[in-house]
Structure 1
């Protein structure tokens, strides 16, 4: 007869060790944020250097997101075949190649290739970090540790935008020549080499996921890993993991179907969570904000400063989410976020709808500019304290052991596809009217509220072995 698994609230664990493991895994989130945001400061000078129109510019910016979708899907499969750690190292290699290639790109088409290589790395990191953190974390702190992924993402965004600003300021402008005669905007991409190498080296210092090890039949090694995290209940946990992991075969797409042959409802919920996270338009703020604020009257320097302020705001509210997510639960946090995003996005849509059009672009006069900035940062506040970390935490824990990596890969792939759709269409929607773009995001925020209210399960406090 197996030893009963201790209730989540009574687990005794090594706090320092589990935080260390989660923090190293979350470095993938840092690269995720850095890689996707670093292009913000380079969009305008790169567009001018390569002579690109709005359509091609939008595709260069967002093309990496299609590769992210591929990376997320493949990583989910690879994680079950070669392990979580090897996928982390592979992602670090891809980030490094992309950073160098993007910085030395000759034109838009090879830039697309280099950005796509980085996109595969981003997609892989977006899957492997939340999966590993969820699998190594005790249940009662899993939400907070899972939120480290989002914290790392927003810190990565902040460092990317800050480095963009510093590099542009040092050169007197992003389009000006900098070190070794390369334009400053090219160094914005090359700067990613440093964190990419650090991620690869540090990933080799942490142990493999105990759930992967048990699935491979390496129970003794899994017992050793858990023994460094848990102070008691190791045997009970090993027993429960073994019960929920079928070792005789590997996970596949077929496992995502239930007895009726249809895709399991929980998989669709994960996909929908991912899509809603992107359809509210958060990445428009981080990909296009510098160009957006310049288009409505801000200088390049002021626009870059504003993007840095926005990213700092995102970091602060992510810390708020970490403090709340295990106390009030995932569902309540998402509902609060949806309501707040609906109000702030609606305010932005209203401001741009009222703005006079001069030379084809809206001009924010007087208090309108201040209101737009407040609303934009308010939107970041509500997203950062809820849907930013909440979705990644849910995706890391809502699927059972059998399908976790594969289902998370599918959900993350859907997220990148939605991200691509939103990022690619924004320039065209903005040309039609910024009020139209933000009006769409407002409706998505409203729909996300009712989706969570009706369909999203609460996973707070449950062991991963208890997920249906």
Structure 2
């Protein structure tokens, strides 16, 4: 089959990509990250009111909160296969539908159990979004901009978290309490869940306005459409690029869906690069970042802050993560992925070690560590930890997961890695309370160990991908 634009004067071979257009399309895809962050954080303002309304035990309430993470693992696992079969855009729409259904179902839940079900549904949307956004952005971006555009995913996540904090705060300010009725006699906590419907609708509508991934189009042999997308967003020799993409896709079956069998390899039956992606995802979570976000108010009260001060500190932590993500966007295509990961892991190690020592040596009175003069040290270490994470492992992991796999296995390998990330998130989030009960020094000591292992992992196994074309990935 002849490639579109094979003639010497072909319009499709003209180098006419427009930066603003590419940024706009990447930003639209990154809205998945906004929903991802918003959905996972909106529960924070509602959880106490939900407990009062339904009266479940602590275990059931905790499961209703954490079950979204299991849903995310399921959504991530299947998103890759769906993206290879039906396209990246259709998976975006599917994710938006799951977000919308979850928002409506959670807002009008009758019992804690159907609330948990709707939270699981929302988690499926989160998982699908966590796969499709980095894959699509990597496949639509020029190599020299891919890191910065890929970092938009993490920026959208942290902005989504911040937005959910603001919405929760505004709603509670209007009603006086998350348990109080607000508009139309509906409790405030229900409005918190319902607010997710707005960005879900926006994401679903906007995703229908952007082009399909050129790599997917080549896999489906829609070469004219692929050439047009490449010309408008990537540039270069379009005919040569299509041939390169087609060459990297050889070995697929006629449907263009390699499936899990394409991930087979020599490392315990799996391709080594897939293990690198999985471990990259696991280390991102096992250094404890979500403990800072999910349990930050509890942590700050342990340091000695009042509940009101603790909530303010949580907002400050969220803003810090936004600012540091901007730093990562500025640096990722200049200094590279591996240096940022290495500096980030080393910085997290020092901060976590400081927190572990402070909490391990503090006297405990009535189950609460009394930090005294060491409180400010713990506060500084925790915020510096967020700085190191936000400049490195937060955005860079998503950038690398979107670009480190070859065209043939990208969607499936990213799905496996993202599913591992959500399972790791679930493990960290559910084990922190019992670990904290045993001693915060123990909890942060374990995260310190994982940060040290992350340093070793980056040095030995991470290969730099800065400036490389996706077709160069092996």
Same fold (TM over 0.5): yes
**One of 130, 150, 156 as aligned partner of 1:152:** 156
- Residue 256 of structure 1 contacts residue 264 of structure 1 at CA under 8 Å; is this kept in 2? yes
Separation of aligned partners in 2, 1:255 and 1:230 = 27
Separation of aligned partners in 1, 2:398 and 2:109 = 33
Q: 1:285 to 1:132 in 2, by over 3 A?
A: same
Root mean square deviation of aligned Cα: 2.1
**One of 196, 199, 212 as aligned partner of 1:195:** 199
C-alpha displacement of 1:307: 1.4
Separation of aligned partners in 2, 1:52 and 1:351 = 35
C-alpha displacement of 1:305: 1.8
- TM-score, scaled relative to structure 1: 0.93
- Does residue 343 (structure 1) correspond to residue 347 (structure 2)? The answer is no
The aligned counterpart of 1:134 is 138
The aligned counterpart of 1:443 is 449
Q: 1:207 to 1:457 in 2, by over 3 A?
A: same
Q: 1:294 to 1:109 in 2, by over 3 A?
A: farther
Note the residue ranges of structure 1 that are not aligned, 5 or more in a row. 4-10
Separation of aligned partners in 1, 2:447 and 2:20 = 40
Separation of aligned partners in 2, 1:30 and 1:162 = 14
C-alpha displacement of 1:176: 3.2
- TM-score, scaled relative to structure 2: 0.92
**One of 383, 390, 397 as aligned partner of 1:391:** 397
The aligned counterpart of 1:314 is 321
Residue 13 of structure 1 aligns to a residue whose secondary structure is: coil
Q: 1:207 to 1:355 in 2, by over 3 A?
A: same
- Does residue 290 (structure 1) correspond to residue 297 (structure 2)? The answer is yes
C-alpha displacement of 1:52: 4.1
Q: 1:426 to 1:260 in 2, by over 3 A?
A: closer
- Residue 39 of structure 1 contacts residue 287 of structure 1 at CA under 8 Å; is this kept in 2? no
- Residue 40 of structure 1 contacts residue 288 of structure 1 at CA under 8 Å; is this kept in 2? no
- Deviations 1:276-317 (Å, cap 9, x if unpaired)? 011011111222223443455544432222211111100000
- Residue 141 of structure 2 contacts residue 234 of structure 2 at CA under 8 Å; is this kept in 1? no
C-alpha displacement of 1:259: 7.2
Greater Cα offset, 216-225 or 426-435? 426-435
**One of 352, 370, 377 as aligned partner of 2:376:** 370
Separation of aligned partners in 2, 1:107 and 1:363 = 39
- Residue 40 of structure 1 contacts residue 286 of structure 1 at CA under 8 Å; is this kept in 2? no
Separation of aligned partners in 1, 2:209 and 2:370 = 52
Separation of aligned partners in 2, 1:261 and 1:214 = 31
C-alpha displacement of 1:240: 1.1
- Does residue 118 (structure 1) correspond to residue 122 (structure 2)? The answer is yes
**One of 430, 448, 469 as aligned partner of 1:463:** 469
- Residue 240 of structure 1 contacts residue 465 of structure 1 at CA under 8 Å; is this kept in 2? yes
- Residue 327 of structure 2 contacts residue 391 of structure 2 at CA under 8 Å; is this kept in 1? yes
Residue 402 of structure 1 aligns to a residue whose secondary structure is: coil
Separation of aligned partners in 2, 1:110 and 1:292 = 30
Q: 1:347 to 1:108 in 2, by over 3 A?
A: farther
Separation of aligned partners in 2, 1:435 and 1:12 = 56
- Residue 40 of structure 1 contacts residue 290 of structure 1 at CA under 8 Å; is this kept in 2? no
